[in-house]
Structure 1
């Protein structure tokens, strides 16, 4: 594991970059925040002269542009120079020099002007309107009276879109000119908004909007709370919950969880939304997240016909179009895996019964896609042809294997005993086929080839570990952590390349914990978390590099959370109210807990304590508590 620059530090409710103590200047970074009708990517930093760098890329997912494709959201950039100007003593402020930047779900930048004015900017999206807000407080730290005035609001622009003209505006609520004596302050708000020509404008109060954003952050913070001796891990998990949950957009076809990143909104994918994020939401207990997942699963059922044509990879443009440019990526396996985990974890028999036909269809599709060697064929994988994947890849087959396993549990729960028996058999057959077809010595490691003919190590050899396949766990873990695959940014996609996608790193860390490689997995997880939370690009898991410049896509944060729920705490649903918990607590810890879990038909806590050479698991809910004791690595069966 390589050392990395730690630019940020923890504070009581977030993280802080103290620029006055930073010698590695200039530096710029970007992060994304979202609401139900808007998203904003804030680029901020300090240039070589110590001056503020600040811009906002604002995205309106439901104001669709022409062509109305995957990327057809209304998007505009707002540089510092294009925003209302602060005039101090009759001169425009152009010399803001940042002192510190704080992030706690809102980004706050404190700067000093050369005339002794302290300027504090707090930027955040509205929770439910098409607006990005900026609250500005100006404080006079000099011993002289100073006048402050804000330039006129700008009308922005008009844009012709799919449903007519969209109006973009930048406005503020500053009250004329302020005269500030020593130690006096003034405050005003700036609003970046867009609307349809015939849509009535909304009156917004920036302080009220900030309170609503705070309520959202606090609500998510209180649910699915992680407690460990490591504060970096706790905070990274807290932030990952927020990024996962905030990125849900209200569309004409219901709430849609969206990846974000300035490109992917008002659309759903079988990997990001169904496979990655969907299974987390029941544990988080975020109502809108569960609604968005169920909506996504329902939307895909419209493409599950009797002739078993492949379902599309994504449903785009608020649900009125599709994208399937990479062919069949193994989308039915992704759907089956995500849907069956969501159904079980929801603890709701009505939801499970509704999703059952789609799960059966998806598994039937997988069965029909088996090649003569018994593994599941697909045109590509979730990387959509960026790297070779052959005619059958390891990821698709592993997803199908786990879907059969969990599908058997759900079938029994719903009284479909024949399906349960069938899926148990199909899982066993696929398990054997995966070993025979993909099992191989690659670059000297006893692991898996990613596809027939693959002779170079690939990051997705972690897939069997995640699904509990341990046959080649030792060689696979050695390969994953070798210098051929592990880099300072986690796993590279292919040995010898520099391209990395966090999603495979997050899968690998989860898989290592699932199969009991606790010490190494925890060490690498803590190193990764410190880099992403406190390093040069903060505070979330990222998509990829060089593609996308490490966008903060939301489902990657869901995968981070699942390292904890499914890896560290070993949560595996076995029914609508029953589960297995296999705690993976590292040697240096005596205690860890996951509180206010909302899944499996109840709210409950999991508390893990070290007891001599073993562990104690306490499960508490409204009915009381149950205590289990066993050796380290014990899989405790919990039933309501």
Structure 2
């Protein structure tokens, strides 16, 4: 579904979340959102039907309950019709009054004289999605109130489950009929849980209120990490939501804690683009311990596939780490891994971690040297779009990511005492930079930009990638092309000029690149429009995967890319060593100040305050230094 673009904002922003107040005469509207815990994920369709009637349809995914065949999509999942609230044995006709998103999903409704608040979330550590229901009797009479799940138990076919049959349950908590006097309040809930039928039902939360407190504590923890403060409330709020979505999609597989995209299809598995390239560089400086744990599990999984014959590491390690997918061949996956692993290791600032990751980084760069074509750019079978659009035998993304990976790996090699290796990587990076310009630099549709592959004569969204890795030779023409009517749409960048397909990941790369290039006059209005649409429009509150594919699912790593558009684009943050990093803040003309607090980088925690024409960096312990704006500067904590 493509959501309309010409409507006034549906949601309003406040200091703690966003809210949609449903007008009595408003037409029907249903949205969908995903939220996750370590053992399951919830996709909730919610909103209003005719005459404002409450709509809520949950679908729950249990990634570690595997179905057969045990492939990428083999996570047990079930759709439900939602619970039924009854008064004196008769179903209550509920009308939605408002919805609120503040780390959980709150639906406020009325019906039968009751004031009803439903709160949806996923338990942090249990395979349980929670529908917490608090009802208040606003009438003048005592009523019998009950909460009944739509379906109590269903059993799956044992021939279709890795562990045989599974039991899927909707378990009522305090849902039995009971008297509710006028002005009295009662808490009830439904727990949506699944387990192997041969095993006992898992321990359920002692109360839905306690489970919600655990969820809110997780959200508060993330609020305090990598804390963005700007004069724009929508950017602040979108950034905070993006941190939550990026960091919540962690699943406790038998092979370790892993970050996975979600979306009803991609769980208990990792990808070279979503995890290695998009999310893990952020997790290097986010400061969330479990995100770091998941990142390092992913590096371990990829590293298992290193081999002396230099066969490619698979694009995706699936099924809790027990199998793999490589159906699109080499998508440039080794460039993605080298790029992400080297950036992650530098950001962590931990020598032991860097030493563990070094063999993987080195192997990927050795592989890439073997993929160098006669023109000096890197060959691959496809790219991260896996054949949805043509990519030729050598594409722009793969070579750009390899270029950046070589630079980061050179910095890492220097800190690990491998000066000759560092020198070699820098020489390779310099040669590749020149080859990228020679091979991909082109006038396309009248713009002095890049062709995406040999023979490409139509503008592509991924021409933004060079800007994200410091290749600014064609910045003006590239930005002209990105923001031209040929590529720019109400939903950001079209994947290809003239196409209605869009992928938010490309748009978010575009923002990061254009901000890094310093074109604030064009970047900021577009970034603010995009932020407002994703945060307050008809499909909220996160970046999405794509359209028309996937119905604009809230895949997790895209939210990580929104965060990186701010930190690496607007602030120019880049790790340069185990104890140093680069900044190049670009303060928007309308903003007197902006800051990032509690940035976990280079082995410590720093604060970054930009005001007027200078930037103040404060290290743990209170020491600070000021730097003039206008060009990149290096913060060397060893000399702080």
The interval holding the TM-score normalised by the smaller chain is over 0.9
> Secondary structure in 2 aligned to 1:282?
helix
CA deviation vs aligned residue, 1:549-583 (integer Å, no higher than 9, x gap) = 00000000000000111111111111001011110
Q: How does 1:127-276 map to 2 (within 5 A)?
A: 127-151=124-148, 154-159=151-156, 160=158, 161-174=161-174, 176-201=176-201, 202-204=203-205, 205-276=207-278
Q: Distance in 1 between matches of 2:387 and 2:336?
A: 17
Partner residue, 2:367: 365
| Cα distance in 2, alignment partners of residues 505 and 566 from structure 1 | 15
The whole-number CA distance in structure 2 between the counterparts of 1:64 and 1:600 is: 39
Q: Distance in 1 between matches of 2:314 and 2:189?
A: 43
Change over 3 Å in CA distance of 1:179–1:396 after alignment to 2: same
Give CA deviations for 1:66-109 in whole Å, capped at 9, x if unaligned: 111000000100113xx3x222133122x211000001111010
> Do the aligned residues in 2 keep the contact of 1:147 with 1:177 (CA within 8 Å)?
yes
CA contact (8 A) 2:149 2:190 kept: no
Residue aligning to 1:465: 467
**CA, structure 1 residues 178+560, in 2 after alignment: closer, same or farther (shift >3 Å)?**
same
What residue number does 1:97 align with?
95
Match among 461, 477, 496 for residue 479 of structure 2: 477
- Shift of the 175–487 alpha-carbon distance from structure 1 to 2, 3 Å rule, reads closer
Residue matched to 1:488: 490
The alpha carbon displacement at 1:621 in A equals 2.1
**Distance in 1 between residues matched to 2:472 and 2:168, nearest whole Å:** 55
Paired position in structure 2 for 1:62? 64
Partner of residue 50 from structure 1, selected from 39, 49, 52:
52
**Counterpart of 1:635?**
633
For 1:98, what is the secondary structure of its paired residue? strand
The Cα of 1:296 is off from its aligned counterpart by 0.4
Q: Is the 8 A contact 1:178 1:186 kept in 2?
A: no
Partner Cα distance (1:405, 1:594) in 2: 25
Q: What are the Cα deviations for residues 138-169 of structure 1, in whole angstroms up to 9, with x where unaligned?
A: 11222232221234784421222102221111
Deviation at 1:200, TM superposition (A): 3.4
Cα shift readout 1:343-363 (whole Å, capped 9, x = no counterpart): 100110011011111111101
Alignment partner, residue 554 of structure 1:
556
SS state at 1:49 partner: helix
Deviation of 1:628 after TM superposition, in Å, equals 2.0
SS of equivalent to 1:311: coil
Report if aligned partners of 1:244, 1:277 keep a CA contact under 8 Å in 2.
yes
Instruction: Give, in whole Å, the separation in 2 of the partners of 1:439 and 1:634.
Output: 25
**Is the 8 Å Cα contact of residues 451 and 459 (structure 2) preserved in structure 1?**
yes
The equivalences for 1:618-629 within 5 A come to: 618-629=616-627
Shift of 1:605: 0.5
Map 1:425-504 → 2, pairs under 5 A: 425-504=427-506
* SS of equivalent residue, structure 2 residue 50: coil
Shift of 1:623: 2.8
Unaligned runs of 5+ in 2: none
Aligned-partner SS, 1:67: coil
Provide the residue aligned with 1:87 in structure 2: 86
Number of corresponding residues: 629
Q: Is the 8 A contact 1:8 1:16 kept in 2?
A: yes
Q: Secondary structure at the match of 1:455?
A: coil
Q: Distance in 1 between the 2:27 and 2:220 partners?
A: 33
Secondary structure, aligned partner of 1:54? strand
In structure 2, which of residues 382, 397, 400 is the aligned counterpart of residue 398 of structure 1?
400
Q: Report the 3-state secondary structure (helix = DSSP H, G, I; strand = E; otherwise coil) of the residue aligned with 2:577.
A: coil
1:16 maps to which residue?
19
Alpha-carbon distance between aligned partners in 1 of 2:576 and 2:250, rounded to the nearest angstrom: 29
CA gap of 1:634–1:179, structure 2 versus 1, over 3 A, is same
Residue 448 of structure 1: how far off its partner (Å): 0.3
Encode CA deviations 1:282-325: one digit per residue, 9 max, x unaligned.
22111111111111011111111111101100000001110000
**Contact persistence 1:153–1:172 (CA under 8 A):** no
**Cα drift, residue 634 of structure 1:** 4.2
Q: Secondary structure at the match of 2:609?
A: strand
Q: Secondary structure at the match of 1:608?
A: strand
The TM-score normalised by the length of structure 2 is 0.96
Structure 1 CA distance for aligned equivalents of residues 136 and 272 of structure 2: 50
> Superposition pairs for residues 584-595 of structure 1, below 5 Å?
584-595=586-597
CA contact (8 A) 1:604 1:620 kept: yes
Is this contact kept in 2: 1:584–1:633, CA < 8 A?
no
Question: CA offset at residue 265 of structure 1?
Answer: 0.1
| TM score, norm. by length of structure 1 | 0.96
Query: In the TM superposition, what is the alpha-carbon distance from 1:616 to its structure 2 partner?
Result: 1.6
Q: Secondary structure at the match of 1:229?
A: coil
> Cα distance, 1:213 vs. partner?
0.6
For 1:107 and 1:228, how far apart are their aligned partners in 2? 25
- In structure 2, distance between residues paired with 1:225 and 1:203: 33
Note if contact 2:582-2:632 (Cα within 8 Å) is conserved in structure 1: no
Contact 1:581/1:638, CA 8 A, preserved across alignment = no
SS in 1 for 2:125: coil
CA distance in 1, matches of 2:149, 2:297: 43
Q: 2:634, 2:229 → 1: CA distance?
A: 20
Q: Give the structure 2 partner of residue 6 of structure 1.
A: 9
Q: d(CA) in 2 for partners of 1:489 and 1:149? A: 44
Residue 306 of structure 1 corresponds to 308
Deviation, 1:176, is 3.4
Partners of 1:623 and 1:342 lie apart in 2 by 24
Q: Is the 8 A contact 1:596 1:603 kept in 2?
A: yes
Runs (4 or more) in structure 1 with deviation over 6 Å come to none
Q: Is the 8 A contact 1:442 1:449 kept in 2?
A: yes
CA distance in 2, matches of 1:284, 1:537: 26
Quote how far apart the aligned CAs of 1:206 are.
Answer: 1.1
Give the 3-state SS of the residue equivalent to 2:388 in structure 1: coil
SS at match of 1:327: coil
